[in-house]
Structure 1
Amino acid sequence: MSHLLEVNHLKINFKTYGGEVKAVRDVSFHVDKGEVLAIVGESGSGKSVTVQSIMGLIPTPPGIIKGGSIRFQGKELLRRPKKELRKVKGSKIGMIFQDPMTSLNPTMRVGKQIEEGLIIHQRLSKSEAKKRAIEMIKLVGIPNPEERYNQYPHEFSGGMRQRAMIAIALACNPELLIADEPTTALDVTIQAQVLELMKQIQEETKTSIILITHDLGVVAETAQRVIVMYGGMMVESGTVFDIFENPKHPYTWGLLNSIPNIDEEEKKQLEPIDGSPPDLFAPPKGCPFAPRCKYAMEVCLEEMPSEYEIDGGHVAKCWLNDPRAPKEEELVALGREEW
Structure 2
Amino acid sequence: MSALLEVNNLEVFFSVYGGSVQAVRGAAFHVNKGETLALVGESGSGKSVTAQSIIGAMSHKRGTKLNGSILFKGKDVLKMKKRQLYEIRGSEIGFVFQDPMTSLNPTMTIGKQIEEGVTLHQQLSKKEVKKTAIELIRLVGIPDAEQRYHQYPHEFSGGMRQRVIIAIALACKPELIIADEPTTALDVTIQAQILDLLRDIQTKNSTAILLITHDLGVVAESAQRVAVMYAGMIVETGTVEEIFDSPKHPYTWGLLNSVPRLERNERLTPIEGSPPDLFEPPRGCPFVERCKYAMEVCVQHLPPSTAISGDHRVLCWLLDERANRDIGERGEQIV
**Band the TM-score falls in, shorter-chain normalisation:** over 0.9
Give the drift of 1:333.
12
Give the drift of 1:256.
0.2
Distance verdict in 2 for CA 1:128–1:190, change over 3 Å: same
CA contact (8 A) 2:253 2:330 kept: no
The share of aligned pairs that are identical, in percent, is: 64
Distance verdict in 2 for CA 1:167–1:267, change over 3 Å: same
Q: What corresponds to 1:218 in structure 2?
A: 218
What is the alpha-carbon distance in structure 2 between the residues aligned to residue 42 and residue 157 of structure 1? 27
Secondary structure at the aligned position of 1:178 is classed as strand
Give the drift of 1:63.
2.1
Q: What corresponds to 2:54 in structure 1?
A: 54
Give the drift of 1:56.
1.3
Q: What corresponds to 2:236 in structure 1?
A: 236
Q: Number of paired residues?
A: 333
Give the drift of 1:77.
1.0
Distance verdict in 2 for CA 1:306–1:335, change over 3 Å: closer
User: Deviation string for 1:88-140 (max 9, x for gaps)?
Assistant: 00000000001112111111110011111111101211100100110000010
Match of 2:269 among 268, 271, 284: 271
Secondary structure at the aligned position of 2:182 is classed as coil
Letter in 2 for 1:320: L
User: Deviation string for 1:180-225 (max 9, x for gaps)?
Assistant: 0011121121111111111111111110000000000000000000
Distance verdict in 2 for CA 1:23–1:148, change over 3 Å: same
Distance verdict in 2 for CA 1:337–1:159, change over 3 Å: farther
Q: What corresponds to 1:314 in structure 2?
A: 312
Match of 2:301 among 276, 300, 303: 303
Runs (4+) off by over 6 Å? none
CA RMSD of aligned residues (A): 1.5
CA contact (8 A) 2:10 2:69 kept: yes
Secondary structure at the aligned position of 1:34 is classed as coil
What is the alpha-carbon distance in structure 1 between the residues aligned to residue 33 and residue 70 of structure 2? 16
Match of 1:331 among 323, 327, 330: 327
Secondary structure at the aligned position of 2:95 is classed as strand
What is the alpha-carbon distance in structure 2 between the residues aligned to residue 28 and residue 133 of structure 1? 36
What is the alpha-carbon distance in structure 2 between the residues aligned to residue 29 and residue 331 of structure 1? 27
Unaligned runs of at least 5 residues, structure 1: none
Give the drift of 1:15.
1.0
**Larger deviation: 96-105 or 278-287?**
96-105
Matches within 5 A, 1:2-13: 2-13=2-13
Secondary structure at the aligned position of 1:167 is classed as helix
What is the alpha-carbon distance in structure 1 between the residues aligned to residue 324 and residue 252 of structure 2? 18
What is the alpha-carbon distance in structure 1 between the residues aligned to residue 163 and residue 2 of structure 2? 32
Unaligned runs of at least 5 residues, structure 2: none
Distance verdict in 2 for CA 1:173–1:322, change over 3 Å: same
Secondary structure at the aligned position of 2:259 is classed as coil
